Amino acid sequence: MKILQRLTLLLLLLPNLAVAVQQYTYRVGERLPQSRENFVQGLQIIDDSLYVSTGNYGQSHLLRYSFPQGELLQSRKLHARIFAEGVTVLGNSIYQLTWKNRKLLVYAREQMQPHHSFPLPGEGWGMTTDGELLIYGDGSDKLHFLSPETGKVQRSIAITERGQALRQLNELEWVDGRIWANVWRTNRIVIIDPVNGEVLGNIDLSGLLPDHERRRGTDVLNGIARNPTDGSIWVTGKRWPWLYRIEILPKETDLP
């Protein structure tokens, strides 16, 4: 009986174990300067504007720059007790996560004026949107889909990579029907199926910021933005001096 139970369990696990994860490298197309003061937690490009959420207590901001010119157009500093995280724009609203305050801040988009907030069930890490719902992570292996009108969780998915739970997903971006996510404290971005949570691709961005560009306080890779005008992908990190436009290049398929 024990042998039969083990065989049954193995058969249940096989579909997950059989998922191939496509491996990618990258090529830099161009780079744009950005302030090293920006402890980047979230990025979004929309309507010729780059929205940036920066973190740390006493240093958290919501910023809007002209894109690609990089002129600072609007800035809103958050309360010193708020540590800001991911950001996304949907319709006429801007949504900005907070880390341990467990609040989702909502702004009127045009003036970046605080409007209201929604409670979060846990910490806030990364955020994006599929055009209808908000999608956010809390540092666990879960991503949650929220109503932009009520802030209520509509559904959640567990993120797995070759059948194993994948945690610490940070900045998120919706790219061509997939969720791209920085994995905190790594040089990689994973590509996630938004239906079942499986990791379909892994982008290795090692070496993107050269060692000679790093200074004291330069932190990890974090920040993904897709330009809807031309489909280009821009990435950066916390207190990095550059935004990079990258092209991803497939390696040989990494079979399980």
Res. 183 pLDDT band, cuts 50 70 90:
very high
Model pTM score: 0.90
Q: Is residue 109 part of a domain?
A: yes
Distance CA 50, CA 38 (A): 13
Model confidence pLDDT, tens digit, residues 209-247: 999 999 988 999 999 999 999 999 999 999 999 999 999
Q: Is residue 225 part of a domain?
A: yes
Q: Is residue 241 part of a domain?
A: yes
Which residues constitute the domain of residue 145? 21-250
Q: Is residue 56 part of a domain?
A: yes
Model confidence pLDDT, tens digit, residues 133-150: 999 999 999 999 999 999
Mean pLDDT is lowest, of 15-24, 59-68, 97-106, 205-214, for 15-24
Residues linked to residue 225 through DSSP beta bridges, in sequence order = 234
CA 24, distance to chain mean position in Å, is 18
Closest CA to 44 of 96, 110, 121: 96
Kindly report the average pLDDT of the chain as a whole number: 92
Count: domains in the chain = 1
What is the predicted pLDDT for the residue at 255? 43
Q: Flag whether pLDDT at 4 surpasses 90.
A: no
Task: Report phi then psi at 6, rounded to 5.
Answer: -65, -40
Which CATH number covers residue 144? 2.130.10.10
Q: Is residue 11 part of a domain?
A: no
Closest CA to 178 of 99, 248, 122: 248
Q: What angle do CA 197, 201, 206 make, to 5 degrees?
A: 125
Q: Is residue 16 part of a domain?
A: no
Q: Is residue 2 part of a domain?
A: no
CA 205, distance to chain mean position in Å, is 15
Share in percent of the chain as helix, strand, coil (round to 5): 5, 50, 40
What is the predicted pLDDT for the residue at 24? 97
Res. 17 pLDDT band, cuts 50 70 90:
low
